[in-house]
Chain A
């Protein structure tokens, strides 16, 4: 945190002029760079396959931003309130399918469809959260997981021919503005994704900096004490759950636009796991960690697919090359390593030393 008075080396304190500090303007500079990115045609060999303003790379970057935003919204629950929801994929999927179905099946124009999808997702989150939040800790994780499973099963079974079942549901682009359709317009989608990320970050940071955010942090650290202070933790948690659900819906709507439809895999529990990995990698409860974690993970995940098929992996002995070509195996390994080595910020845990520093077997 920046203090309002700065101490000079001489020891006299000077009134705080708003001194230049990278942490203050850094995000704005990064945002400016992100917005300006499509105007540059630099090639970064080894990082991106094509020049940075070519559709393929912009699509990948937009995808990174969408998942960065999703992870940021999820962290409102996980890192900032200490709620381990194992069913966040449901709200993402609700955004994806809500937007897609409203456009393709019900014929709504894009903006209305997105609005309804986001509001609808937040409503679903509020209703399910009201039930799930009656439990705590691991039971909460299991209950949210169960709800998400209902969502995944429902999408897979294609009730009334609405979701397209296992095949997914391609978006009817006739209802989408022309500027957002087609490979040449990927740049507009990219800018839209930047917008979604900005909105998400602004919402989450606004909540975190508001009094409500302090209560959420207090709930994470010691829920009982919050209750003793006369505040109702349940209400605050439900608020966080609803907002996080709505933000996931927004990210989902953007995802549906970007991918041009919906596929059932967005609803499965692996999706929540990847979210967790993103947040844990980036640093739960930190200002920019989840965004960076989400972007980095999505990028690496994209690269991992080509890594799994690369010659380097194929030339390994079968014991290694088999599992390493399975993305979930790699994901699981990365995840376990993350749990062991970057345990910062999990519910109720304030130390960043990690389990290795307290290598004491019998502390039960």
Chain B
């Protein structure tokens, strides 16, 4: 395969990293919680699409709309019932809590649908290839990349150009001061968490036609996403997205031109290197307020 094809493959793979890392970063910024269950929600998103199609005949397009909304609401519920209770404690508690949740969600899905991979076809309109001028590329992958870029730009716009985004950014950087200005920070916590979860679910739906739908698909991915977030700088939205696409590219190139073990471990090697020279990540601030 040509270099350009590999590059585009990398961008598509990076789209998933970027979407998941974006959700993690938004949640971390607002709640100071690293949501370990992020991978589980990605998996639930893919399963949501699969189950809707297999058991109710609902198409990909409706799933793309409905699954993130439903899982986002579930995320809000989760924040209200479980995560909020631990918010007064060390953030490590919520890390542990969401890890426990991950195991439960995985096993619930496994006990219902087994651990084999389930097929999910690409939606009717996106089955062929598109001519991108220099090479042909599967239409569905182009679509995934487009959606990811749109979403990243959309979130950026939301955060920088709207009042909601301003409040969220202010609450992320100076929670006490924001509260002192009379803004009810607590109100935005659950919606932001739900939004991050919805992003993960959307990435899951997008992944369903491309990747094997199985209960462990999130667990396999999330550790890599953590590395991406650390590389980009924990809490840095821009860093997460940039690192997501960058890692996707590096991975695709090393898969094509390097030994197999390198491609699988590259992301962690890059992380170790980045930490050696910039402990706060490429775009992170040196001292995070705790």
Contacts and interface: CB of A to CB of B under 8 A. Distances in A.
The dominant DSSP class at the A interface is helix
Interface in A335-364: 335-336, 339-340, 343, 346-349, 355, 358-364
Interface residues of A, number: 51
Interface in B90-105: 90-93, 95-97, 99-104
A328 interface: yes
Given A329-B107, A339-B100, A147 B92 contact: no
A359 B87 CA distance: 10
B106 to A, nearest CB: 7
B86 A336 contact: no
A51 interface: no
A326 B275 contact: no
A326 B34 CA distance: 26
A145 B223 contact: yes
Interface stretch (B157-165, B195-203, B204-212, B259-267): B259-267
A283 B264 CA distance: 37
B58 interface: no
Q: How large is the interface on B (under 10, 10 to 19, 20 to 34, 35 or more residues)?
A: 35 or more
A225 to B, nearest CB: 14
Interface of B: 34, 82, 84-93, 95-97, 99-104, 106-108, 110-112, 175, 185-186, 189, 223-224, 226-227, 229-230, 234, 260-261, 264-265, 267-269, 271-272, 275-276, 279, 290
13 contacts: A132-B275, A142-B34, A145-B223, A153-B261, A153-B264, A159-B261, A269-B223, A329-B108, A329-B111, A332-B104, A333-B104, A336-B101, A363-B88
Given A326-B108, A326-B111, 16 more contacts: A84-B95, A132-B275, A134-B276, A149-B223, A150-B269, A154-B261, A322-B108, A323-B104, A329-B104, A343-B89, A343-B93, A346-B92, A349-B90, A361-B84, A364-B186, A364-B189
Interface of A: 84, 131-132, 134-135, 137-139, 141-143, 145-147, 149-150, 153-154, 157, 159, 269-270, 273, 276, 280, 322-323, 325-326, 328-329, 331-333, 335-336, 339-340, 343, 346-349, 355, 358-364
